[in-house]
């Protein structure tokens, strides 16, 4: 998800069409806003024209009754214009926020279904920016973008038409400085556009940097890297500041230029009208007063949209840049699809790896031609050095990643034929790095599934032997767990994850059994929980304990993504092969 280049042509009509397709369910609102834009363009020039008539025909002749009547008519037009403008602003803003709400749901739904390899390659802060900041910018396409620009252009055309209809020569004199304003507007638009692109890229970089470093703050502090990382942050933040300052500078130059052009136009209006009046008979010269007042109002009405139209073009373009980034997430095809339809209530739990090849990158395989079978109810231990492919195997069983070649079957059915949620309901996963969300212990066990009652949770905790530990926490099952479970130890977090797995009663259990970093009390509880969970289930365990390895029906020895040996502990020791060497180096000194 690369940042947009400043040199790239941003305004893309196909992309704009796709953005507006998001508002298709609300097309009546779109047409209503366009109708209001047309009505506003018609109503805007009426009041200056009525003022011209009032000054020339009624005030000059002392017809006060008519002055009052015209004033009341103007007041009515003012109320009508105000009501139109209110509904126009409200409808365009409503459209933007409604589209943003729907789009955010679509994007988040897509993000949580992406293949895990996408999260391996994309910083979480970048995806956060896409889901929050960039989608919010799509709102600007509706609230401050195309429809408001159309309304401003219609208003400008309407005012220009009336000006030329009233006095085309005077209109030409007043608009003489306009070429300079058009040039200034173009320069301003391009300058702010480049700055805004820099701002968007800097925001994405800031989000990614801050999210990553807050998540890894323990590492930063443990290695005394605070100052070094702080200096990196200051550099990124400085780029964000500089991009904003450049945009502010462009605004600071452009708006005074607009005021100068307006002042010059007003000066030309007064000069030409005064010189013209001196050449006309007194009766006709007196009629110039209303025209001067009206044209002064016309100019102010004309410059009001001109002040902001360039800015709105930039807002529209930035919304387009943001929408393109959002659509890249939506169009990402690297997701776990729901093509399967097989959804059994229960599976026996037979697992077959048939010549499976897998790699996180296209040209690097971490599993090579892996073949093995796990019978229903068997416990299989995976052993091997770090990087041998153990975690990759357990990640493939519930389709967290796509395999490159070969086939994985459960009960003889390829896992791709299973409905995804049905497959994952049959597969319980307890990982070494247990993630807990902010919320209560109960919420983290049930994952806020309303179908799971507190009584079921308590029964599961008692079965595993964890109930007393939970009740020892302040508040028991209502104890508030901080983000990532930072207030609980590693062993305590693992115990909660065991209850999660038991509640879903999976036929297949995937277990990364890591107890090297837990205290003795937690270790005993974890071992009891493991024995309870494994009983009667097909289990694949990344074994870190000799006791688990000896209890396994089968041991699969991995090295560099290949299976070296398969057998029981006693059979593999007797072979004195690869497992024997691994046992000698890693397990010989481990005591049950």
| 393, part of any domain | yes
Chain segment 130-173, per-residue pLDDT in tens: 777 788 888 888 888 788 888 889 999 999 999 999 888 888 98
Same domain, 381 and 443: yes
Q: Which two tokens stand for residue 194?
A: 């480049």
Residue 84: which CATH number? 1.20.1560.10
Q: Please report the DSSP string for 467-492 in residue order.
A: HHHHHTSTTGGGPEEPGGGTTS-HHH
Same domain, 435 and 488: yes
Q: What pLDDT shows up at residue 250?
A: 81
Same domain, 530 and 437: yes
* Residue 46 pLDDT greater than 80, yes or no: yes
- C-alpha 413/C-alpha 400 separation (Å) is 18
| 113, part of any domain | yes
Same domain, 312 and 358: no
| 455, part of any domain | yes
| 534, part of any domain | yes
Same domain, 84 and 48: yes
Chain segment 278-322, per-residue pLDDT in tens: 666 666 555 677 788 888 889 988 888 887 787 787 778 778 878
Dihedral sign from CA coordinates of 497, 500, 502, 507? negative
- Please tell me the pTM assigned to this model: 0.68
61 exposure class (CB count in 10 Å sphere: 0-12, 13-18, 19+): exposed
472 exposure class (CB count in 10 Å sphere: 0-12, 13-18, 19+): exposed
% of residues, the chain, pLDDT over 70: 88
Same domain, 188 and 148: yes
Residue 281: which domain range? 14-196+251-330
* Residue 60 pLDDT greater than 80, yes or no: no
| Structural domains in the chain (count) | 2
* Residue 3 pLDDT greater than 60, yes or no: no
Tell which of 284, 300, 330 closes a domain: 330
Q: What pLDDT shows up at residue 202?
A: 82
Tell which of 281, 300, 330 closes a domain: 330
Q: What pLDDT shows up at residue 51?
A: 85
| 22, part of any domain | yes
Q: What pLDDT shows up at residue 339?
A: 67
Dihedral sign from CA coordinates of 434, 439, 442, 444? negative
| 6, part of any domain | no
| 225, part of any domain | no
Buried b (16+ CB within 10 A) or exposed e, 107-124: bbebbeebbeebeeebbe
- Can you tell me the mean pLDDT for 22-45? 90
CB 481 within 8 A of CB 441: yes
N-terminal to C-terminal alpha carbon distance within the chain = 49
Same domain, 463 and 560: yes
Buried b (16+ CB within 10 A) or exposed e, 338-373: eebebebeebebbbbbeebebbeeeeebbbbebebe
Chain segment 266-277, per-residue pLDDT in tens: 888 888 877 776
Chain segment 180-217, per-residue pLDDT in tens: 888 888 888 778 777 777 887 787 788 778 877 777 77
Chain segment 512-566, per-residue pLDDT in tens: 765 555 556 666 777 777 777 777 789 888 876 666 777 788 999 998 889 999 9
Same domain, 377 and 303: no
| 531, part of any domain | yes
Q: What pLDDT shows up at residue 39?
A: 92
Chain segment 361-386, per-residue pLDDT in tens: 777 888 999 999 999 989 899 988 87
Query: Within 10 Å of residue 443's Cβ, how many Cβ atoms?
Result: 17
Chain segment 80-131, per-residue pLDDT in tens: 989 999 999 999 989 988 988 888 888 888 877 777 766 666 666 667 767 7
Q: What pLDDT shows up at residue 282?
A: 61
Mean pLDDT of the chain: 81
Q: Which two tokens stand for residue 402?
A: 């796509």
Same domain, 436 and 295: no
484 exposure class (CB count in 10 Å sphere: 0-12, 13-18, 19+): middle
Same domain, 102 and 172: yes
- C-alpha 304/C-alpha 244 separation (Å) is 24
Same domain, 185 and 286: yes
Among 259-263, 403-407, 469-473, 484-488, which is the least confidently predicted range? 484-488
Residue 395: which CATH number? 3.40.50.300
* Residue 580 pLDDT greater than 80, yes or no: yes
Tell which of 330, 360, 386 closes a domain: 330
Same domain, 411 and 456: yes
């Amino acid at each position: 998800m690369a940042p947009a280049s400043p040199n790239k042509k941003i305004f893309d009509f196909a992309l704009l069409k796709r953005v507006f397709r998001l508002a298709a369910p609300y097309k009546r609102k779109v047409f209503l806003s366009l109708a209001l834009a047309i009505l506003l363009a018609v109503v805007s020039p009426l009041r200056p024209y009525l003022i011209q008539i009032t000054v020339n025909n009624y005030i000059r002749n002392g017809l006060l009754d008519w002055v009052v009547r015209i004033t009341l008519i103007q007041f009515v037009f003012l109320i009508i214009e105000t009501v139109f403008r209110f509904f126009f602003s409200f409808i365009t803003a409503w459209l933007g926020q409604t589209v943003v709400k729907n789009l955010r749901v679509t994007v988040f739904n897509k993000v949580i279904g992406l293949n895990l390899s996408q999260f391996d390659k994309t910083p979480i802060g970048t995806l956060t920016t896409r889901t929050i900041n960039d989608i919010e910018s799509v709102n600007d396409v509706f609230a401050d973008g195309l429809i408001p620009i159309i309304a401003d252009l219609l208003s400008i055309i309407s005012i220009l038409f009336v000006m030329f209809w009233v006095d085309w020569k005077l209109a030409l004199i007043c608009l003489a400085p306009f070429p300079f304003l058009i040039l200034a507007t173009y320069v301003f638009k391009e300058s702010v556009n480049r700055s805004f692109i820099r701002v968007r890229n800097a925001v994405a970089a800031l989000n990614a940097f801050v999210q990553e470093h807050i998540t890894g703050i323990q590492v930063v502090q443990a290695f005394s890297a605070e100052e070094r990382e702080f200096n990196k942050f200051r550099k990124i933040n400085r780029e964000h500041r500089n991009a904003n300052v450049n945009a502010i500078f462009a605004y600071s130059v452009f708006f005074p230029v607009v005021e100068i052009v307006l002042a010059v136009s007003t000066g030309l209006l007064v000069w030409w009208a005064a010189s013209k009046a001196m050449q006309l008979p007194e009766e006709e010269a007196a009629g110039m007063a209303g025209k001067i007042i009206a044209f002064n109002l016309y100019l102010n009405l004309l410059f009001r949209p001109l002040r902001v139209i360039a800015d709105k073009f930039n807002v529209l373009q930035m919304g387009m840049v943001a929408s393109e980034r959002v659509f890249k997430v939506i169009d990402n095809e690297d997701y776990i699809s729901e093509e399967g339809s097989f959804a059994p209530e229960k599976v026996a739990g037979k697992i077959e790896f048939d010549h499976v090849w897998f790699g996180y990158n296209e040209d690097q395989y971490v599993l090579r031609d892996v073949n093995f079978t796990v019978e229903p109810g068997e416990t299989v231990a995976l052993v091997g050095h770090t990087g041998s492919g153990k975690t990759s195997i357990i990640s493939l069983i519930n389709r967290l990643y796509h395999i490159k070649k070969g086939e994985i079957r459960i009960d003889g059915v390829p896992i791709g034929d299973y409905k995804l949620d049905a497959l994952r309901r049959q597969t319980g996963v307890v990982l070494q790095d247990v993630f807990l969300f902010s919320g209560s212990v109960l919420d983290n066990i049930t994952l806020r599934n309303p179908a799971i009652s507190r009584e079921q949770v308590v029964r599961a905790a008692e079965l595993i032997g964890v109930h007393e530990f939970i009740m020892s926490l302040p508040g028991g099952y209502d104890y508030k767990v901080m983000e990532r479970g930072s207030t609980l130890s590693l062993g305590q977090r693992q115990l909660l994850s065991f209850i999660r797995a038991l509640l879903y009663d999976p036929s297949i259990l995937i277990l990364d059994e890591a107890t090297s970093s837990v205290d003795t009390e937690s270790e005993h509880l974890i071992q009891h929980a493991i024995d309870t969970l494994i009983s009667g289930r097909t289990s694949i365990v990344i074994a870190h304990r000799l006791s688990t390895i000896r209890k396994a029906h089968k041991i699969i020895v991995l090295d560099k993504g290949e299976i070296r040996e398969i057998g029981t502990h006693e059979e593999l020791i007797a072979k004195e092969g690869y497992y024997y060497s691994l046992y000698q180096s890693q397990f010989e000194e481990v005591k049950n």
